[in-house]
Amino acid sequence: MAREPDDLWQSLSRAGETIATEEDYEHGYSREVRQDLRRCLTFRVGGELYGLSIQDLAEITKPMTTTPVPRAADFVLGIGNVRGTVIPMVDLARRLRLVAQGTASSMRVLIVNHGSELYGLVVDSVHDVVPIPPEAFEPPPGALAGARAGFIAALARHAGEILIILDLAIVLDGRDFVRPRSSGAAEARVFGAERGRT
Amino acid sequence: MSSTRPTTEFVPEAQEVVEEFSRRLLELEAAERAGVEEPEALNAAFRAIHSLKGLAALFAAGPIATLSHSLENALDALRLGKVPLNAATLDVLFEAVESFAALLVAHEADAESPSIDPLLARIDSLVGRVRPERTATELPGVDESILGVLTEYEEHRLRENFRLGRTLYRVHASFDLLAIDVGIEGLKIRLKEFGEVITYLPSADSSADDRIDLDILLGSTAQLSEVSAALVGDGVDVHPLIRDAPPRQGAGQTQAISFGGGDDDPPRPTSPPRGVVATAIAGDPETVDDGEVAPDVSLRSISRTVRVDLARLDQLMNLIGEIGVAQATLLDSVDRLRRRGSAPDLSRELSAELRTLSRKVSLLQQGVLDVRMVPLGQVFDKLARVIRKLGREAGKEIRLGISGEETELDKLIVEELSDPLMHMIRNCIDHGIESKAERLASGKPAIGRVELRAFQRGSRVVLEVEDDGRGIDLRQVRESAVRRGLHREEDLREMTPQQVIELVFMPGFTTRSTPGALSGRGVGMDVVKTNISRLSGIIDVNTTVGRGTTFSITLPVTLAIIQALVVQTAGQTFCIPLNSVLESVMVGSTEIRTVDGAQVITLHGKTLPLCHLARLFDLRRSSTAENARIYVIVVGLAQHRVGLVVDDLLGQRDVVIKSIGSALRSVPGIAGATELGGGRTVLLLDVAALVEEAVGREISGPAASAPLEVFHGA
């Protein structure tokens, strides 16, 4: 994972508890180190910027072959195999009812740990790991319309952008993984199209 | 880990001892009914409880120690003949088995122990009922020096043998010090054919330093000549005890006295030389209660077994599966290398080595599978207890026959089997076996018969529960189904007898109008079916009104690695567990008939409903052209048979079942996934669910009214 200045800052600070920066010398005090920063991975899905706590993240891989699972919901690409462990692969764009905008070279699979099981989330592209202080988080605005509202755990501001923090418990709710029986035939076609993409 | 370790070791070990105890009680009960004595079983029961007492004290399991202590006293009185062994006594002892089970559960859960005071009182009252001291049978001619070294139990057995008119023999045996274990074992087996071995006494007659001499007291109905003919030779002599001179005085004598002291002598391990030492140190077993444990309990494990968490075995199994996959890939690469023709020597060598490797890997796999195997006897013993209890509660006398208890099955399956078997037994006793009066009226023996059988058939194990009761009355089943609103009367008239019998497996089905004490609450047989299906088992019912019913369950031997049929349909590959496949056949499309909208073929003279996998799964074929030939895989679930239609059969493979995660587990028809090498992950079909779907559709759908006989394989 990409290292960036904040990483260095954090490791230095862990070693010495407090560190004085150039700015501090000017002002004559050392500043306290934040212990409560939440580090989030930022990624894009359907043109929007999302964030996911790195605690939920096991690894990031390139897209892999998946085996389609009949009767699963449309957003389930199938099952993938990560070093011998079979995991469900989720097309996050479809799950969030967005249109994927990634290219074959930019797309990544976030392997996330949820409820002590692994899941693969296919995203358009992966960006950074950023530290976000608790006060930068805000609850999802109630007025936020759209089908995705339910998937959003919080919004976070970082470097002038708004990150959408996903609620994995909702995104990976097992009850949604099975395709409803009635619309089986209609979705089979979608499913067929799906297979071509990965 | 270290903090939880003591209990995790204690509970299973204690359970094993309690099971042993219960087995002995069953033996005793059988002997008691037959009117014979079984002193060895009684002594073994005593020994088991003695060990349990030590174990419980070691692990500070208070109530278990208290109960076993009290029980030990009672058993000691029993084996000394002070308390008569009868049905009432056995009831109390069996009750103790149940109490131990409850106490162990509480101990494991760290919960409050159920009260054992009433039971303790009953046990104590047993001991209280000590017979007035029987005038000791005179033992004319037995030297005091022998009587002096016998424990009270041994002396009791000696007198009993004498009282029963058996001849007492002194068998003198001399063993090479190095081969003594084998020698004694062999002799013991031969001796037991003739009667009861009362004791082993070290003898002072030893002729050499590297030999050990023993005097064995044997009570037998056989003549001296017979016993001598069979035993004498190879260091063994036989003399009648009464007329002969007692063992000579000497060093052996004093040594012997040291273990013969107390009334309450502890059990003697089977190997005499060690036994002398161990018991001499152990002394009076009362010391166990002070928190000390007799050395023969604490130092030696009861059995030579290692307990392994099943999860760890699964892990091993998984690893082996992955080795298998890697190996298949390697074989593939070598194959390609050979076809390319470069370095032919090397590639030939490689493939030869690989073959050796695959043989070893499959041996390894078999080895790990074997470790998971446990004999069905464990479950049968529990069931024997249940039958005894239920029979008594229902006021029916039942004789249980057991065979094939040594048949082995995967531990997981054995565990899962207990409940369904229990339900089936309940059913037998409650619905199957008639009351005594009814049986006599219909010319049957008063005592009902229930048979539990297990045997291996190919890669499957068949379990049968048979009773000689009244059988399943189809008329009654039909009436009940209508009464419960499960089916309409006109539908039932069209059903075949087999289909009617299958109704007993429907949830909520019962022929009773009021719930019986045991079963008849409408739960039971559907649970049986669910559990058996979950184990990929097949259940068959055979019944004759007035003659009895046989349920037979066919199960795979193991679940961790399974053999699978690899099939292809609509371009996608699937695995079907071979243990739910009855056969696979290739059929021309012209052989397919349509019965009321449902496709069927005729196989072995029976109609087999077909069900296209591609259609079930909404898979789209690349070409719409119907194949001229299709493959039909006959699969079975419980009593149903369905033909699953696929495009192609790709072969058979051993596969490791992998979970597809909790989110996808609820996808109907998919049981898991497996790797087929080359990083290919394929889905494993849940045949049970698919058949259920197909059958459900047929019964509730339009095909229900068609005279469709569900194919019923042998």
Q: Which of A70, A81, A88 sits opposite B619 (nearest CB)?
A: A70
What is the predicted pLDDT for the residue at B508? 65
A81–B572 CB contact, under 8 Å: no
Q: Does any domain span residue B264?
A: no
What is the predicted pLDDT for the residue at B377? 84
DSSP letter at B298?
A: H
Exposure string for B77-99, b = 16+ CB within 10 A, e = fewer: bbbbbbbebeeebbeebbbbbeb
- The CA distance from B502 to the nearest CA of chain A, in Å, is 27
Q: Does any domain span residue B187?
A: yes
Q: Chain B contacts of A79, Cβ < 8 Å?
A: 660, 664, 673, 681, 683
Task: Encode chain A (198 residues) as per-residue pLDDT tens digits.
Answer: 444 555 666 665 555 445 555 655 555 554 555 667 888 999 999 889 999 988 899 889 999 889 999 999 999 999 998 876 789 999 999 999 888 888 888 999 999 998 878 999 999 999 988 888 888 888 877 655 565 678 888 889 888 888 999 889 989 988 889 887 644 333 333 333 333 333
Domain hosting residue B224, numbered range? 144-257
B673–A67 CB contact, under 8 Å: yes
3-state secondary structure of A123: strand
Q: Which of B572, B618, B662 sits opposite A184 (nearest CB)?
A: B618
Q: Does any domain span residue A188?
A: yes
What is the predicted pLDDT for the residue at B228? 78
Q: Chain A contacts of B662, Cβ < 8 Å?
A: 115, 117, 174
Asked if residue B690 and residue B584 are part of one domain, the reply reads yes
What is the predicted pLDDT for the residue at B701? 37
Asked if residue B364 and residue B379 are part of one domain, the reply reads no
What's the CATH code of the domain at B37? 1.20.120.160
Asked if residue B155 and residue B92 are part of one domain, the reply reads no
Asked if residue B321 and residue B459 are part of one domain, the reply reads no
Q: Does any domain span residue B287?
A: no
Asked if residue B665 and residue B594 are part of one domain, the reply reads yes
Query: Which of B524, B556, B588 marks a domain boundary?
Result: B556
Residues 6 or more apart in contact with residue B645 via CB below 8 angstroms:
B569, B610, B611, B612, B613, B614, B630, B631, B632, B633
Q: Is the pLDDT of residue B253 over 50?
A: no
Q: Chain A contacts of B618, Cβ < 8 Å?
A: 70-71, 184-185, 187-188, 191
- For residue B614, give the chain A residue with the closest CA: A70
Q: Does any domain span residue B283?
A: no
Asked if residue B406 and residue B522 are part of one domain, the reply reads yes
Asked if residue B404 and residue B327 are part of one domain, the reply reads no
Query: Which of B99, B128, B157 marks a domain boundary?
Result: B128
The lowest-confidence range among A69-73, A180-184, B616-620, B656-660 is A180-184
The lowest-confidence range among A150-159, B254-263, B317-326, B393-402 is B254-263
Q: Does any domain span residue A9?
A: no
Mean per-residue pLDDT for B338-359? Answer: 84
End-to-end CA distance of chain A: 24
Q: Mean pLDDT score of chain B, rounded to an integer?
A: 74
Asked if residue B510 and residue B472 are part of one domain, the reply reads yes
3-state secondary structure of B309: coil
User: Percentage of residues in chain B with pLDDT exceeding 90?
Assistant: 3
Residue ranges of chain B whose CB lies within 8 Å of a chain A CB:
318, 322, 572, 616-620, 658-670, 672-673, 675, 679-683
Interface ipTM: 0.73
Asked if residue B654 and residue B640 are part of one domain, the reply reads yes
Task: Identify the CA nearest to B620 among candidates A86, A196, A79, A178.
Answer: A196
Query: Which of B556, B571, B603 marks a domain boundary?
Result: B556
Asked if residue B423 and residue B462 are part of one domain, the reply reads yes
**Residue B462, beta-bridge partner list:** B455, B554
Alpha carbons B694 and B641: distance in angstroms, whole number: 10
What's the CATH code of the domain at B507? 3.30.565.10
What's the CATH code of the domain at B598? 2.40.50.180
Asked if residue B107 and residue B221 are part of one domain, the reply reads no
Task: Identify the CA nearest to B706 among candidates B494, B445, B560.
Answer: B494
φ/ψ of B218, rounded to 5, equals -125, 135
Residue from A61, A62, A65, A69 whose CB has the most chain B CBs within 10 Å, to mutate: A69
Catalogue the long-range contacts made by B287-291 (C-beta closer than 8 Å, 24 or more residues apart). Answer: B288/B53, B288/B54, B288/B57, B288/B69, B289/B57, B289/B65, B289/B69, B291/B57
Q: Does any domain span residue B479?
A: yes
What's the CATH code of the domain at A161? 2.40.50.180
> Would you say the C-alpha torsion B525, B529, B532, B538 has a positive or negative sign?
positive
Read off the pLDDT band of B683 (50, 70, 90). Answer: very high
Q: Does any domain span residue B669?
A: yes
What is the predicted pLDDT for the residue at A28? 53
What is the predicted pLDDT for the residue at B379? 84
B664–A87 CB contact, under 8 Å: no
Alpha carbons B328 and B358: distance in angstroms, whole number: 9
Domain hosting residue A137, numbered range? 36-197
How many separate domains does chain B show?
A: 5
How many separate domains does chain A show?
A: 1
The lowest-confidence range among A186-190, B409-413, B671-675 is A186-190
Q: What are B589-614's pLDDT values in tens digits? A: 788 888 877 888 888 888 888 988 98
Asked if residue B628 and residue B543 are part of one domain, the reply reads no
- pTM for this prediction: 0.44
Q: Does any domain span residue B273?
A: no
Mean per-residue pLDDT for B71-93? Answer: 81
Mean per-residue pLDDT for B565-591? Answer: 88
Q: What are B35-70's pLDDT values in tens digits? A: 777 788 888 888 888 888 877 777 777 888 888 888
- The CA distance from A125 to the nearest CA of chain B, in Å, is 25
Cβ(B235)–Cβ(B203) under 8 Å? no
Q: Does any domain span residue B136?
A: no
Q: Does any domain span residue A28?
A: no
- For residue B323, give the chain A residue with the closest CA: A84
Q: Is the pLDDT of residue B322 over 50?
A: yes
